[in-house]
Amino acid sequence: MVEERKIRVLVAKPGLDGHDRGAKVIARAFRDAGFEVIYTGLRQTPEMIVSAAIQEDVDAVGVSCLSGAHMYLFPRIVQLLRERGADDVLVFGGGTIPDEDIPKLREAGIAEIFTPGTPTSVAIDFVRNRAGRDRK
Amino acid sequence: MPFDENEERRIESAEETWEEQTLRPTLEKLPERARQFNTVSWHPIRRLYTPRDLSDFDYTQDLGFPGLYPFTRGVYPTMYRGKIWTMRMFAGHGTPEETNRRFRYLLEQGQTGLSVAFDLPTLMGYDSDHPMSRGEVGKCGVAIDSLADMETLFDRIPLGDVTTSMTINSPAAVLWAMYLAVCEKQGVPYDRIGGTIQNDILKEFIAQKEYVFPLEPSMRLMVDTILFGAQCLPTWHPVSISGYHIREAGSTAIQELAFTLADGMAYVEATMKAGLDPDAFAPRLSFFFNVHNDFFEEIAKFRAARRMWAKLMRERYGAKDPRSWLLRTHAQTAGCALTAQQPYNNVVRVAIQALAAVLGGAQSLHTNAMDETRALPTEKAATIALRTQQIIAHETGVTHTIDPVGGSYFVETLTREIEEEAWTYLQKIDDLGGMVQAIEKGFPQQEIADASYRYQQAVERGEQVVVGVNRCVAEVEEPIPLLQIDPDKAAHQQMEKIHQLKKRRDSYPVDHTLDAIRRAAQGKDPWARDLLMPKILDAVRAYVTLGEIMGVLREAWGEYVEPAIL
């Protein structure tokens, strides 16, 4: 019997924001839920995050940003993934994000935005159901 | 309170009777809501506190009088009867022009001090046109690239009459130099300039993560500013030793207290090592604590902090001047305690937290706005937050007497227990070789990460109630108006200004002053008497940009790379 491959998630902190409480909690919660988790650490450019995602062959990328730069950083990550042929990687995010930005981020290809107060289990279930579904 | 044996026995026997005849029948009929009650930091709280909890309490030693060692009851003899705390609202976004307007509005509304929020590129020492600044310019604070921006920021604000707090850490020396240069232009003499730079670099490695240089040069630059302040700016606070961010990163109240004092101890030790007597700089050290939801735990934390710092300064470091023993502190309500759900509830949370800060004896206070989980505050939300302080100050009467909770069996016991637990942490940090070594080993980082995860799990299991999130949830969330910021305007304007500035300015003093900074930074003697601050001042006067100065220091010292601690 072949052992089922663990879902691989890259948790990333794009941009200059140093607020890593949420990213660390999410990384730990995913790990405790049986995922393979890679945490990038701080101050990652979209290019660095996408390279790490491809190199680590992840199923999903979770990005966290509390500085207000999400409208540049999140879509840029999706765009670079597409350019590098990795558009099957699920991108989801969280942070200090106004409601009205959420539809725009979805349109740009971010699968879901989890705002403050979301239980980690909601994000975990979402990724479990969606990640790898479209993988070739 | 010490009392004679007869009195103690009388209380003990009355308590036993109460337990047997009154309490027990009630518990049999109606058990309590939980077997164990805890603070939000998991500190156990008992059913009742009585004089017996304080039987070995020594009033003059443990509490004393306001303005006297160990300052448990407050740092000043009259506290808020003499002067209400400084209402200092943290503000800043977009361009210096926009933030200047917000500052002048807040001063008109009765605010008594300024507090500058910088954007992330400024906090990280990058100019607005640096590639790392993309998407971040003017977003979470104001963008400052050069002295020209600082002149705009304080345009028509007389810097001899207000005090200014600047939340800036890695590049604190540079922003401080820019502020001093604006004061020079306004004709304000150095001995009339009042304010604070946060400049608390150790908590950046622990919590807020806006470090740039490795630990050792970071400490060198920080001590450089303390030495410069001691020489030239008698009324300035060169550091605000901050627990705020440690708490926001997920620590408990006790960890916040212990790690903050440990950071302060590291600064005192490093400055003394550089040859300064503690009394030459300790009176200018200031603090900054968080005020979270757990009302009495927070009050006790502030009281324990004052008592511990006084003991440390007097006993451990041998400071003789009573002003060196004072822990004077700014407080800010806990951003991490606000909820995105039912945001109007945050007004209530902030009011209760602010009241705890006042009962805890803070010297200045920032109250958060209800909308800050989603964006920078609107003017209306920030005004309500300021009004909250004004209502506490002028309507509640809590300011009429000093330390109104002093002597409460509960508060005094809790103050003592928090102090004891914090001493245990300080002992652990001492055993690791001090705070710098503890940070290198990842000790405070791991403690905070564990506490933060434990809290999240408690919320998700429903053990920790958060109204609107896991209890009393609304079916439909009503949206609230948020501050609208043009996403690119600040970046475009700042980039254009840098471009114009570099074309316009004289290049000789730019190269010359940068070279002087480079040579001093490369100097082998890390605690040289040849300070960097005057050289940085020369550079900012010549309109050298923040990014240029920090770039030279980055080349000389390298950059810190954090070990990932989950």
pLDDT digits (tens, 9 = 90+) for B12-49: 999 999 999 999 999 999 999 999 999 999 999 999 99
Strand order in the sheet with A112-114: A36-39, A8-12, A60-65, A90-95, A112-114
Kind of pairing between the strands at A60-65 and A8-12: parallel
Decide if A69 and B562 are in contact by the 8 Å CB cutoff. no
pLDDT for the residue numbered B530: 80
- Does residue B499 lie within any of the structural domains? no
pLDDT for the residue numbered A133: 61
State whether residue B126 sits within 8 Å of chain A by CB.
yes
State whether residue B336 sits within 8 Å of chain A by CB.
yes
Mean pLDDT of chain B: 95
Contact between B129 and B545 (Cβ < 8 Å): no
Decide if B564 and A17 are in contact by the 8 Å CB cutoff. no
Q: Which CATH superfamily is domain A9-130 in?
A: Cobalamin-binding domain (3.40.50.280)
Task: Please determine, for residue B97, whether its predicted confidence score (pLDDT) is greater than 70.
Answer: yes
pLDDT for the residue numbered B111: 82
- Does residue B106 lie within any of the structural domains? yes
Beta-carbon contacts of residue B48 (< 8 Å; ≥ 6 apart)? none
Task: Please determine, for residue A4, whether its predicted confidence score (pLDDT) is greater than 80.
Answer: no
Residue of A10, A11, A20, A32 for testing the chain B interface, max B β-carbons within 10 Å: A20
Query: Domain of B135: which CATH number?
Result: 3.20.20.240
Q: How many domains does chain B have?
A: 1
Q: What is the ipTM of this complex?
A: 0.90
Q: Which uninterrupted H or E stretch holds B543?
A: none
pLDDT for the residue numbered A131: 86
pLDDT for the residue numbered B228: 96
B291 SS3 class: strand
CA distance B448 to chain A (A): 9
pLDDT for the residue numbered B90: 87
Q: Helices (H), strands (E): how many in chain B?
A: 20, 11
Contact between A108 and A74 (Cβ < 8 Å): yes
- Does residue B545 lie within any of the structural domains? no
Q: Where are the domains of chain A?
A: 9-130
Kind of pairing between the strands at B113-117 and B164-167: parallel
pLDDT for the residue numbered A136: 46
Portion of chain B with pLDDT greater than 70, in percent: 98
pLDDT for the residue numbered B109: 86
Contact between B514 and B549 (Cβ < 8 Å): yes
Query: What are the helix (H) ranges across B57-113?
Result: 96-108
φ and ψ at residue B57, rounded to 5 degrees: -80, 135
pLDDT tens for B477-528 read 888 999 888 888 999 999 999 999 999 999 999 999 999 999 999 986 555 5
Range of the domain at B452: 61-461
pLDDT tens for B242-253 read 999 999 999 999
Burial class (CB in 10 A: 0-12, 13-18, 19+), B126: buried
pLDDT tens for B266-278 read 999 999 999 999 9
Residues in chain A with CB shorter than 8 Å from the CB of B561 are 41
- Does residue B483 lie within any of the structural domains? no
Kind of pairing between the strands at A36-39 and A60-65: unpaired
pLDDT for the residue numbered A1: 53
- Does residue B109 lie within any of the structural domains? yes
Query: How far are the Cα atoms of B54, B361, B369, B473 from residue B345, in angstroms, in the given order?
Result: 37, 25, 11, 12
Contact between B144 and B125 (Cβ < 8 Å): no
Task: Please determine, for residue B56, whether its predicted confidence score (pLDDT) is greater than 50.
Answer: yes
pLDDT tens for B366-381 read 999 999 998 899 989 9
φ and ψ at residue B237, rounded to 5 degrees: -100, 110
Task: Please determine, for residue B80, whether its predicted confidence score (pLDDT) is greater than 50.
Answer: yes
For residue B341, what is the nearest residue in chain A, using CA coordinates?
A117
Decide if B449 and A24 are in contact by the 8 Å CB cutoff. yes
Contact between B292 and B298 (Cβ < 8 Å): yes
